[in-house]
Amino acid sequence: MNDTTTAAARVRRWIAEADRIVIGAGAGLSASAGFDYTDTRRFAELFPALHRRGLRARYQLIGTRLPAPLMWGYWATHVADIRFGPGPHPVYERLRALVGDREHVVLSSNVDGLFARNGFDPERIFTPQGDYARYQCEVPCTRETWDSRPIVEAALAAYDPATGEVTDPAAIPACPRCGGEVFLNVRKGPEFIVDPHLAAGRRIQDWLEATPADAKLLVLDVGTGFNTPSVVRWPMERVALGYPNARLVRINLEHPEVPEELAGRAIGLATDAATLLEQLS
């Protein structure tokens, strides 16, 4: 067997031996499912007007300020594609099948809802960076958040792909309370409203506290790098270090390193998540 096959066999055995699983997920997992913020081809297809302006990938729009008609032309198209697009997604389906009926929870920095859309129980998922399915006031004037699907659909109905703009001013979303600017309920600054996600965080904390000290716990860390390591990557390491029988599997094409303290009960695989999950299936 080659090294990849040997590693996959080891991971398969560790999953089979686990009685509880913690999944930590970052951008690399969704990229494996086809939602890659660096994908220049898909960007050119979806955003021809922005492509003509010299932009080449979605990551360039993170934090970029655009005129409202152009901004909502981009974000409505992006969210419709990445959050409200049709499923299923084989990468996530394979991951769900591997977990099976074992006790599990999910911590993900992704805001695309792909776990819940592919068979994972929403009550077991914590997304501390937010969710594209909600939007909020930019001030914010209230702690309330709202379903984003109606504003996305309204913007798309007035979207002109040739210019990249929402052509009807009435389709530019505004705060239902104060009439001010709004944005998606994702962590981009201090205005982020974390309230809708706190209950899920408490449930995961309670789950971990109820996990027996001698549990056969598997920590499966997929696609988490160093853009925001404190959100998922480092917490996954701390969880594995906190249980003497825990094992850590890290799947990351560019950053598969694992802590030296976990020698013998951690493995880092420099491979694409989709490739490995297909092997494990």
> Residue 129: what residue type?
Q
**Domain span holding position 99:** 1-33+89-128+194-281
The torsion defined by the Cα of 4, 7, 11 and 17, in degrees rounded to 10, comes to 140
Give the global pTM: 0.94
Q: Are residues 49 and 175 in the same domain?
A: yes
175, 193, 211 - which closes a domain = 193
The answer to whether 124 and 102 have CB atoms below 8 angstroms apart is no
As given in the structure block, the two tokens for residue 33 are 């499912």
Going by C-alpha positions, the residue among 153, 180, 136, 164 that lies closest to residue 73 is 164
**Co-location of 19 and 106 in the same domain:** yes
Residue type, 201: G
Q: Are residues 105 and 175 in the same domain?
A: no
Name residue, tokens 């209950």.
199
Question: ω before 169 within 30° of 0 (cis)?
Answer: no
User: Over the Cα atoms of the chain, what is R_g?
Assistant: 20
Whether 81 and 151 share a structural domain: yes
CATH of the domain at 11: 3.40.50.1220
- Cβ–Cβ < 8 Å for 145, 162: no
Domain identity same for 245 and 263: yes
How do residues 73-117 score in pLDDT, each as one tens digit?
Answer: 999 999 999 999 877 899 999 999 999 999 999 999 999 999 999
Give me the torsion for CA of 147, 152, 157, 163, rounded to 10°: 160
d(CA 60, CA 195) in angstroms, rounded, equals 28
275 in the same domain as 226: yes
What total of structural domains would you count in the chain?
2
Please report the pLDDT score of residue 1 as a whole number: 39
**Which pair of tokens denotes residue 35?**
């939602």
196 prior amide bond cis, ω within 30: no
The Cα 87–Cα 120 span in angstroms is: 13
Phi first, then psi: give them for residue 221, nearest 5 degrees: -105, 115
Q: Are residues 93 and 207 in the same domain?
A: yes
Same domain, yes or no: 45 and 173: yes
Domain match, 60 and 149 both: yes
Q: Do residue 260 and residue 223 come from a single domain?
A: yes
3-state secondary structure of 107: strand
Residues 80 and 146 in one domain: yes
Within 13 Å of residue 115, how many CA atoms lie on the same side as its CB? 25
Examine the fold and report which residue of 152, 176, 193 is the final residue of a domain before the chain moves on.
193
HSE-CB at 147 with a 13 A cutoff on CA atoms is 5
Q: Which residues of the chain have pLDDT under 50?
A: 1-2
Task: Please state, in angstroms and rounded to a whole number, the distance separating the CA atoms of residues 220 and 160.
Answer: 42
Residue 160 shares a structural domain with residue 258: no
The C-alpha atoms of residue 84 and residue 70 are separated, in whole angstroms, by: 20
Task: Decide which of 163, 193, 223 is a domain's last residue.
Answer: 193
